[in-house]
Structure 1
Amino acid sequence: MSTPLPPLVEPGPPLTPTQSRRYARHAILPSIGIEGQRRLLAAKVLVIGAGGLGSPALLYLAAAGVGTIGVIDDDVVDESNLHRQVVHGVADVGRLKVESARDAIARIDPAITVIPHAQRLTVENALEIIGGYDLVLDGADNFATRYLVADACEISGTPCVWGSILRFDGQVSVFWPGRGAVYRDLFPDPPDPALVPSCAEAGVFGVLCAAIGAAMGTEAVKLITGVGRTLVGRLLIYDALEATWRELAIRPDPSRTPMTALEAVGAYCAAPAAQPAEASGRPAGSEIDVETFDALLAARSRGETDFDLVDVREQVEWDLGHIDGARLIPKDQILSGAVKLPTDRPLLLHCAAGGRSGQVLDHLVAQGHADVRHLLGGYTAWERAHRDE
């Protein structure tokens, strides 16, 4: 076994009687001991995202006694989150995720200091926020944030425990500048957004989050206390259906130019597009909100206008819920040319969150369709707006 890395955090004050009782099972472990527990209590850890991976990681970091936990997320809890984001409950639907996570941590240990960052990590704030912590756990669900976190950690020298999940598969590693590979050594450039399944369409096996989130928490405790062999220089790949873990060795790329400044990368697939159409390069008026969408549906029902309403999701999504008056034509059938949409009628498109319908819009405009629009936020935004009706 390789030599453990030195502890990341210096020990804090002696344990109080309450802490001695609470963390007794940790403290009697020979590799952690009382000193290791004091290191955990002195540690400051930032968790990126209070979602599927952040949920188990947050709960176990708090239970382990990490003294200061920051959590950054600008999203609110939705019912569709609850099958995997176990830090939230039914009563939290509609609340900011950082507030729900803060309350869940307080139920475990009210002595833990929680710093909620109810905002999106950006080029402007990433270095300042990450610079306030000893360690980062990256549970982001979009490539823009992953690359931003990776670059900020590389520039600041902050170790990053990284996890990723898709459908039934998960990955976890530790990226630490100067000690091993970093994220861009493994993934130099972000993928083409058109080739990446959106967060709404890919799906996630709920309990997979527990396996990967727990592995991330394990690495955090090991790094803080200096115990065991960390995942620096190693990538673990978990196949939940086959119940197998595979390990790959990863090394720094000597030909890669180190990151010295932050830059925005791609789009945030986790959130529906909110910029004006002009900013996205699409024709003015081609991206509409739910209010405008509903007004068009009402006008069509009154015979005042006419258009084809096309749902570009998959059959299973349609079966789970759809908008009356739409017809289902999955995105790939349109992009491949298997289905031709009429050019002499206005088209109104929607998907789950706006990503796929935006791709179809771009394709149709390039094909010469003069009157094509799509719904920002997709069916998710529409259904949320009509949920109480």
Structure 2
Amino acid sequence: MNDEALLRYSRHIMLPEVDIAGQQALLNARVLVIGAGGLGSPVALYLAAAGVGAGDGGALHLADHDDVDLSNLQRQIAHTHERINQPKVASVAKAISALNPDTHIVTHAEQLQGETLSELITAVDVVCDCTDRFSSRFAINRACVQHGVPLVSGAAIRFSGQVSVFDRRQPEAPCYACLYPEGVDDEAMSCATSGVLAPLVGVVGSLQAVETLKLLMQVGQTLHGRLLTYDALNAETRTMNIKADPLCPCCARLK
């Protein structure tokens, strides 16, 4: 790191758990953020601010097939009114470049699926699921399970949010499908039909960013094997243990 980088990340480096080695790990990290909306905005911005993908070999991948809409601006803070109708990944890339121009950004203006999703996940260290559809979450989970890549999952709707880490590198680790059975209706639990409190996605996305940084630096205790829920209406948080389902259709056969 040069003098400018040492100054930029100085508040990280002074943390004993981070230090020079931890910060260098963030700079060289490769992270895939799937979804550039309410959750993806704070995740991408905080990861970029922390230096993820700003070093040699590092990259911050952003994937989303959607364009910025006026209704997004209530909560998707990486976008602006001037960027309405632009691809969301391009909009977030502009926000990141203004914040940390050293970040190596790779955009994917498409809905990742099949071999494309699988190949991209094999090329990164951590995946952040910031999507809002169960079908996408299950597909991302399957690919992460298959390739042993840690998954940081977040969700927010109405006044409720949740975050968990699914790290199949750990013994007896659960996956997302151990928590939720496949076949859940996408439209029944979407912000478009149910609404969401604006800053709630910021809370959940920020927690996802924290968990991602801990995974990359290998510090602290992550939410691996635990589900953190947040009830914004009543200002309550709960943490519940998650066990691997021995009959899980996704991960049981790989144990």
State TM-score, norm by structure 2. 0.93
Q: Distance in 2 between matches of 1:140 and 1:171?
A: 13
The answer (yes or no) to whether the contact 2:133–2:186 under 8 Å persists in 1 is no
> Which residue, out of 251, 272, 275, partners 2:243?
251
Q: Distance in 2 between matches of 1:128 and 1:259?
A: 19
Residue 131 (str. 1) matches residue 111 (str. 2):
no
> Which residue, out of 163, 178, 181, partners 1:185?
178
- Relative to total residues, which structure has the larger helix share, 1 or 2? 2
Deviation (angstroms), 1:198:
4.3
Question: Residue 235 of structure 1 corresponds to which residue in structure 2?
Answer: 227
Q: Distance in 2 between matches of 1:107 and 1:130?
A: 27
Count, aligned residues: 246
Question: Residue 102 of structure 2 corresponds to which residue in structure 1?
Answer: 111
Percent of aligned pairs sharing the same letter: 43
> Which residue, out of 132, 153, 176, partners 2:167?
176
Gap regions ≥5 residues in structure 1: 1-14, 262-389
Question: Residue 357 of structure 1 corresponds to which residue in structure 2?
Answer: none
Question: Residue 200 of structure 1 corresponds to which residue in structure 2?
Answer: 192
* Cα deviation digits, residues 223-258 of structure 1 (max 9, x gap): 111111100011000000111110000011123244
The answer (yes or no) to whether the contact 2:227–2:240 under 8 Å persists in 1 is yes
Instruction: Give the 3-state SS of the residue equivalent to 1:227 in structure 2.
Output: coil
Question: Residue 87 of structure 1 corresponds to which residue in structure 2?
Answer: 78
Instruction: Give the 3-state SS of the residue equivalent to 1:185 in structure 2.
Output: helix
Which one scores higher on RCO, CA 8 angstroms, separation ≥ 6?
Answer: 2
Deviation (angstroms), 1:87:
0.3
> Once structures 1 and 2 are overlaid, which stretch shifts more, 196-205 or 96-105?
196-205
Deviation (angstroms), 1:260:
9.8
> Which residue, out of 28, 44, 52, partners 2:38?
52
Deviation (angstroms), 1:197:
4.0
> Once structures 1 and 2 are overlaid, which stretch shifts more, 46-55 or 117-126?
117-126
After TM superposition, the runs of 4+ consecutive aligned structure 1 residues lying more than 3 A away are 257-261
Matches within 5 A, 1:273-352: none
Question: Residue 10 of structure 2 corresponds to which residue in structure 1?
Answer: 24
Deviation (angstroms), 1:193:
5.0
Larger radius of gyration: 1
The answer (yes or no) to whether the contact 2:52–2:60 under 8 Å persists in 1 is yes
Deviation (angstroms), 1:124:
3.4
Q: Distance in 2 between matches of 1:245 and 1:168?
A: 12
State TM-score, norm by structure 1. 0.61
* Cα deviation digits, residues 33-91 of structure 1 (max 9, x gap): 01000000010000010000000011100000001210100100000000100000111
Distance 1:257 1:78, change over 3 A: closer
Deviation (angstroms), 1:125:
1.4
1:227 partner amino acid: V
Distance 1:203 1:70, change over 3 A: same
1:241 partner amino acid: L
Instruction: Give the 3-state SS of the residue equivalent to 1:94 in structure 2.
Output: coil
Q: Distance in 1 between matches of 2:33 and 2:168?
A: 18
The answer (yes or no) to whether the contact 2:48–2:103 under 8 Å persists in 1 is yes
1:82 partner amino acid: L
